[in-house]
Structure 1
C-alpha cells in the first residue's frame, strides 16, 4: 500500500472521544467493537465477552489489528484514565466514533466475564470478503500488502500466501497479524514501482491489489496468473480527494479505467462506489482464460507497454 494511498481515507480532523459511564455499559450497541487495552495477564484473568485485546503500549505498532477507523469503538482498561488516554491516542489515528469506559473494566459489577481468546476486530476489504467463495484455493500473491489484512484473510481461507510491500515495518506487522489469526504468510520486501521488479510467470491462482496504483505494473499482474486464476483489484477513483488521501492523479483511476486495463482477462465483476463520506473506489474481479498462453513474464517492467490510455 503506497503511503499516499493509506488504507482508510481521512480528512485530518480529530473527533474527541466520549466518556461512557460504567452503568451504561449494558447499553453499548450490540455488534459495536470493544477494545481492552490492559496487559495480557490481566486480560487472561477475565474480560468482557466479544472484546478485542491490544495493550495500550502497543497500539501504534499493532494498528493493523484494530477495526476500520469509521467503526464505533469502546476502549476499556483497569482505570478510566488509561482508557481515556488510549482513546485519545486512537483519535489521533483518525478514529471518529470513540468512547472510553469511565471506570475499571475489572469492576465486579461487570458480571459478564469471559475467559476465552480475544475477538478479532480487524476486517479485510468488504469486497474481498464478498468474493472469497469464488476464488477457490491455491497460491495467492497480495501486492502492496501493507499490514496484511487481506493476506491473512486469504490464508484463513486456505491459500498459500505471499505478501509483498516496500515497507519492512508493515511486513513485520503483517506477519504478526497473520500469527495472531493462527495462519502464516510469507513476506517479501519489494518496491513495486521499480522498473526492474519481476513477478513470476503463471505462478499464482489469485493476485490481489488493494488501494495501490502503479499503472506500469498492470501487464505483470496478468502474466503472473495461472490459467483460470483470478485478479482482485480495488483502489481509489477520481473524486476521492473530496474526502482525503490520495489526491494526486497518479494514484487515482479515471472512471472505467480499471475495467479496461487488462485486455487478456475476462471481467467477472466491476463496480465503482461513491458512498457519502467516501471512499471513492473501483473494484474488479477478473479471470485469466484457461487456454491463454503466458507472455515472457519474467521480463522487467517496461518490456510490456501499458495500453495507450494508461500510459
Structure 2
C-alpha cells in the first residue's frame, strides 16, 4: 500500500518543478546558440558557462513566480494540479524566498561575470514574463500569448549580448522566429487541453473563439513562421545548409498545421505541440551547424 507521504515528491523535486525545467531547458538552449552565433570563432568558455547559469537562474525565478501567481488556476487544471504551489505543500513565503534567491544569484552572476547589458536584458525578460504576461495579459485577453510572447522569445538576444555586449539585427531575427513560433506552439497545447483551460477561467483562444478559429490561426502563424525562418538566410547570416533545413522543418510544421485545420483531433494537436519543440531545437541547431560550416 502506497501512503500519501510516500507518494508525495521529495521537497527538492517540488522546488525543481516550480522552475519548469523542460521549458527553461529550451530557453537556455536557444540562449547558448545565440552565444555561439555571436562569436566568429568559439566564444570564451567562462562567459558561456557564467551566462548560461545566470540566464537559467533568472528564468527559473520567473517560472517560480508564475507558479505562485497562478496557484489557484493551476489547482483547477489537471496538467498543473500537482505543482507544490497548487497543492499548498510549499508556502507563498517559501516560493518568494526561493525565487528571490535564484533571481538575485542570477543577476549577480550576469553583472559580475558577464556584462551589465545581459543582466538588464534578462531582468527585463523576467519582469515581462512574471509580471506583464502572467499578471496583466494572461487573465485578460485571448491574445495573451501573442503579446506576451516577446519575453519568451528573448533568449537568443540574451546569449548574443553575453558574448558581444550588443544585440545586432541578427539577434533580433532569431527573437522574431521564436516570437512567431510561440502562438502556434502554445495554441496546439491549448487545443487538446481545452477542457483544462475552460476550468481554469483563462481566456485562451480556443475557449473564447472556438477550436476551428484557433486551428485557422495556428495554420496562418505556421505560414508566417516559414517566412520568418528564412530571415537568417535572407540577411546573409546563414547559408545554403541552413536554408535547406529551414525549408524542410518549416514545411513539415505547415503540413502538421494544415492537417490540424482540415481534420482536427486531439492526437494531431498533441503531435503538432511535440513537433514544435523538436522544430525549434533543430532549427537553432541548424543555424549553429551552418555557422561552423562557414568557418571551415
Give the TM-score normalised by the residue count of structure 2.
0.29
Higher strand proportion, which one?
Answer: 1
| Higher RCO (CA 8 Å, separation ≥ 6 residues) | 2
Higher helix proportion, which one?
Answer: 2
